[in-house]
Amino acid sequence: MRPNRPKGLLLLPLLFLLPAVSAAQTSPPGIDRQTELVDPLDAAWFYRPERIENEKPEELLDLLGIEEGDVVADIGAGPGFFSLLAAERVGPTGKVLAVDVQPEMIDGLKMMIERFGHDNIVPILGDVDDPKLPVDSVDHVLLIISYHEFSHRVEMMRHIRKAMKRDGQMLIVEYKAENLDSRVQPLHKMSEVEIMQEIPALGFRLDRVIDIVPSQHIFVFKKTEVD
């Protein structure tokens, strides 16, 4: 059972820490963007207070079933909002592999790790076509508002699939393109049709749908049997 935690524990420190890191950084050269990566100067947006209520991250991880000792890969981890939550769940015998392609996001994550003492988080600076994950090592993959940003989707998903254990699961969360009233830019939204056309074709099968956030598609996939 998870211990009770103050809901706002992670919010305040990031508002002060990350802008200072980001201001001293520039975006890495040579990234072939499919869409538009989040500006590191806006990293504190991931820790906005209303996110806990509106997007239900704790309930989402409850439903995903992350347990102590598990290995979680957070792809597109940014400043580590979900990495920190997952790290509390997997405990000292588990591990969170936090992958991002922007060095300044990794720097911000390292500051949060140092502040909260989560030495079970491993920051990984990935490539746009390779998250650099160990083969057959991951129980849970988190792709939370990140899949749509992949510029090399086929290559990335091939590596992610190889990294997943046989019974591993992959969580995909994207803002709904069907929601025309959303303030999220169309560039950062996906439709159910898009997701279900692309992901199964890349070697995954839909396992279940989690319907807890009206503004988001939340799908859990497993690997298909054939490589």
Q: Tell me, letter by letter, the H, E, C secondary structure of 78-91.
A: CCCHHHHHHHHHHC
State residue 121 phi and psi, 5-degree precision: -100, 130
pLDDT, tens only, 160-176:
999 999 999 999 999 99
Q: Which of 21, 217, 44, 170 has its CA nearest to residue 110?
A: 21
Q: Is 8 helix (H, G, I), strand (E, B) or coil?
A: coil
Cβ-contact 80, 113 below 8 angstroms: yes
User: What is the predicted pLDDT for the residue at 29?
Assistant: 39
**For residue 55, what pLDDT is reported?**
82
Where is pLDDT greater, at 20 or 157? 157
Q: What is the mean pLDDT of residues 197-205?
A: 97
225 or 144: which leads in pLDDT: 144
Residue 19 to residue 21: CA distance in whole angstroms: 5
Q: Just give the CATH number of 11-23+44-223.
A: 3.40.50.150
pLDDT value at residue 131: 98
* pLDDT value at 183 more than 70: yes
Instruction: Report residue 133 CA to chain centroid gap.
Output: 14
The type of residue at 188 is: H
Quote the CA–CA distance of 186 and 160 in Å, as a whole number.
26
Flag whether pLDDT at 184 surpasses 80.
Answer: no
pTM of the complete model: 0.82
The closest of 104, 103, 112 to 81, measured between CA atoms, is 112
Q: Is the pLDDT of residue 225 over 60?
A: yes
pLDDT at 116: 86
CA 169 – CA 202 distance, rounded (Å): 14
What distance in Å separates the CA atoms of residue 102 and residue 22, rounded to the nearest whole number?
A: 10
- Residue 40: pLDDT above 60? no
Average pLDDT over residues 14-18: 46
Query: What is the rounded average pLDDT for all residues in the chain?
Result: 83
Q: For 63-114, how does the pLDDT look when each residue is reduced to its tens digit (9 = 90+)?
A: 999 999 999 999 999 888 999 999 999 999 999 999 999 998 899 899 889 8
In degrees, rounded to 5, the angle at the alpha carbon of residue 129 between the alpha carbons of residues 182 and 157 is 65
Q: Report the run of H or E that residue 53 belongs to, with start and end.
A: helix 50-55
With cut-offs at 50, 70 and 90, classify the pLDDT of residue 37.
low
Question: What is d(CA 44, CA 21) in angstroms, rounded to the nearest whole number?
Answer: 11
For residue range 123-152, what is the model confidence (pLDDT) as tens digits?
999 999 999 999 999 999 999 999 999 999
